[in-house]
Structure 1
């Protein structure tokens, strides 16, 4: 009898993971939203110059994008807490469609103003989307599986970059033009529109129930005053100050990698193919570091330090390889563009390096998200923390895109990226040592205790809280 009760409880727990209001399903859904919107955006920018021969338009558009993103990234957590996920996420996703459309317009008229305006508006939308995404990804999972959920999200999200990389590769395979064709931008817009609609399926945190019966929050909506005060406090929070260098560095290198490695060394169709492997490498990297952060050691604090150490060592090796490659050319050299059909080390070396850059990016950002997620468990706090992270990240990116506009030497850009990421490792390690606590040991229950305990009702609107059941609308 006891064994039967235990078996039934185990089956119920397993099946409950695929409830619509379970963390697993909701994190998967936000991954699909980001697959369609930021994933396709990454594929678009990853081509170098947004698929245009002249990088000026995309550099200026992305400067506007990351400038407004820096502001609304910080504000995004508060807005998410006030408006809830559906309004916040769907509004944010819609701006991605306009951005891709602006380059379709640019393909015909070559006027920058629309692209710059669309970039600025996308910065607002991206701030809303990523603050909500960060809150969902870091607060919904149980504390001992945050690395696993982060890698799950990162893999789904970056599959968008993989599929998005195939779009320009296939549509421009036989093209001899310097810029991508209209169908490439239309393909991106279709995916982004699907993501905008899919964002409406995300549940409010108060309706999401973990497998142990706990909720991600008991607060349905916050207030503007509360969120304004909490956002100001972020800039005085020593935890956020230690994260600041990692946040600043975490998107700074995109401009260098996309424009000045992929965009300078390879021809148009090969850039699309390279992005398939760049974003595919991100899926591998996030899975690797997610496993380390969740399963490498018993102590959560130790897992965090081990993960930071691994990313630091790998980063040093990859940036060293980047230095060797960068010493072979400068901004003023006339280079023969490499094609994927080329044989020998001329193509293989830069290709493997670009793949390694993607691997490192995912490991670095997943590591930082894990550290942020280890600082709290509730959705309200983590939406603000991740919003701060995205805001600072975007401020750094805005500076990076303007650095390229002003023709700063490639070697200086590489060294700057290497130094900034390296500085962040000891500061993150210090944060883990000071602020990350080990999980409380989980008390095991005998089969008899399990069978005598009331089971959690199957209804998604009912949860077990504080020893009794509460109904939510």
Structure 2
């Protein structure tokens, strides 16, 4: 006999092993986007399913932010002197912070598809600016490109975060985050292979070739075009017939008010701001102060590939572990927090001895000697992959990549555990990327002002550990094993019948 829960959802002792679709309980539209295709014994998911939409947005980010990460991972945007990249990134993260904070409002108003398509354009212009800089030394173009990318990226990442956190059901949020992060970072891995192949014989610290920039430019343009293949969020239907919770008729007024309403209904989000602020803080240190400072061009390219490969490993392990249904969600939340705190002290603590081995004056002297044609031994500060002391720094850099993915995966999963409301999660994603980018702008500025490397390192470790402590009270009081549909609907104008699973709607109708 079927039993109706307080949320209108139906459970049945006789159908626990069958999905709602297998029981014939789901009635989807008959248009092309809901038709499944059989390939042998395998049935492909329908186009408007959450999983297909996630794969599309993952490949948009594979081609756009993925190529940006590959270029940034080279240190200095592929240039010997990181000055242009630092100034561009300061402009980027400054505008990103401003736009990102309000990106939820914009995304909820214009729609996820439009926000993502526009967002992809900025990456192409950014890459083109560094191709131009290699020939013209035009700082103005690179700074403009950085500022424009900040606007675009704010919308792209807000739309991406809303898809990743609101499209899956509660039991699959960790997996969706993991799938996205793995596909996205594979873009950086493949993007990193481009400069590795083209600079494989470059054993000095030098600017990457024009071909590298042109390759990145073509790929980012393809990514921006791919965003147009997404369906609108209101057309996404899960396997059980439920839909994404949104506003029926969003307007600039309703969504701007909704942004501030979020602080009224969910004031605890302020306690997560330190975590948001810390989540991009360490990139300037990783890319410029380790990879860009300590390694020659071909080795920087190899390091970048391995850094992002470890991001794939980190996101897979954390994403799948956070979805283990054998444990309650509250238990998984605490387990993830403990694991991340342990990684913070193990990995960053392991980086302290390395951080003490060099300073800015040492690196400047080493580069000057190289430019003057002085032959330096393989044990010099500017390392090649054939250097005898390359192994230790490589392993450390790989684990920094692992940590980045673990931190980001946990942060997104944590936000997704607080609500299933797509409108609210778009605002959460906007806050995350806006505050994150403010931290990035500060850190790139510190690097541009030649802050000592050891100070950069210490700020990363302290901020990451401290931000996790700030999260603990929210974890204790706000993370529940499930969030009821009634609770999720409070922040929208949709009704139970608009978004509930088909079986739950039928059960309610049968009782009337």
Flag whether TM exceeds 0.5 (same fold).
Answer: yes
Aligned to 1:362: 405
Aligned to 1:190: 218
Aligned-residue CA RMSD (Å): 2.4
Which among 229, 234, 241 is matched to residue 213 of structure 1? 241
Aligned to 1:282: 311
**1:110-144 Cα shifts (integer Å, max 9, x gaps):** 11110000000000000000000000000011111
Aligned to 1:266: 295
In 2, Cα distance between equivalents of 1:253 and 1:223: 37
Alignment of 1:441-456 (within 5 A): none
State yes or no: 1:124 paired with 2:151: yes
Is contact 1:80–1:88 with CA below 8 Å preserved after alignment? yes
The verdict on how the C-alpha distance between 1:264 and 1:218 changes in structure 2, with shifts beyond 3 A counting, is closer
**Once the 2 structures are TM-superposed, how far is the Cα of residue 379 of structure 1 from its aligned partner?**
1.1
**Once the 2 structures are TM-superposed, how far is the Cα of residue 467 of structure 1 from its aligned partner?**
2.8
Equivalences, count: 446
In 2, Cα distance between equivalents of 1:243 and 1:66: 19
- Segments of structure 2 that go 5 or more residues without pairing to the other structure are 1-13, 27-35, 37-41, 367-379, 485-500
Aligned to 1:95: 122
Aligned to 2:191: 164
Is contact 1:106–1:112 with CA below 8 Å preserved after alignment? yes
Aligned to 2:171: 144
Is contact 1:167–1:187 with CA below 8 Å preserved after alignment? yes
**Once the 2 structures are TM-superposed, how far is the Cα of residue 9 of structure 1 from its aligned partner?**
5.2
Alignment of 1:323-402 (within 5 A): 323-333=352-362, 334-335=365-366, 336=380, 337-342=382-387, 344=388, 346-402=389-445
**Once the 2 structures are TM-superposed, how far is the Cα of residue 16 of structure 1 from its aligned partner?**
7.7
Is contact 2:20–2:239 with CA below 8 Å preserved after alignment? no
In 1, Cα distance between equivalents of 2:131 and 2:324: 46
Is contact 2:182–2:312 with CA below 8 Å preserved after alignment? yes
In 2, Cα distance between equivalents of 1:341 and 1:387: 44
Is contact 2:46–2:52 with CA below 8 Å preserved after alignment? yes
- Segments of structure 1 that go 5 or more residues without pairing to the other structure are 442-461
Is contact 2:119–2:153 with CA below 8 Å preserved after alignment? yes
Alignment of 1:214-233 (within 5 A): 214-217=242-245, 219-233=247-261
In 1, Cα distance between equivalents of 2:326 and 2:429: 26
Q: Which moved more, 1:322-331 or 1:223-232?
A: 223-232
Aligned to 1:65: 92
Aligned to 1:459: none
The verdict on how the C-alpha distance between 1:235 and 1:113 changes in structure 2, with shifts beyond 3 A counting, is farther
Q: With structure 2 as the length reference, what TM-score do the two structures score?
A: 0.83
Partner SS state of residue 20, structure 1: coil
Which among 11, 26, 29 is matched to residue 56 of structure 2? 29
Aligned to 1:74: 101
**Once the 2 structures are TM-superposed, how far is the Cα of residue 145 of structure 1 from its aligned partner?**
1.2
In 1, Cα distance between equivalents of 2:167 and 2:19: 26
In 2, Cα distance between equivalents of 1:111 and 1:62: 15
Q: With structure 1 as the length reference, what TM-score do the two structures score?
A: 0.89
Aligned to 2:461: 418
Q: Which moved more, 1:297-306 or 1:212-221?
A: 212-221
Runs ≥4 residues deviating over 3 A = 5-17, 218-221, 233-237, 462-465
Is contact 1:99–1:115 with CA below 8 Å preserved after alignment? yes
Q: Which moved more, 1:101-110 or 1:236-245?
A: 236-245
In 2, Cα distance between equivalents of 1:235 and 1:404: 33
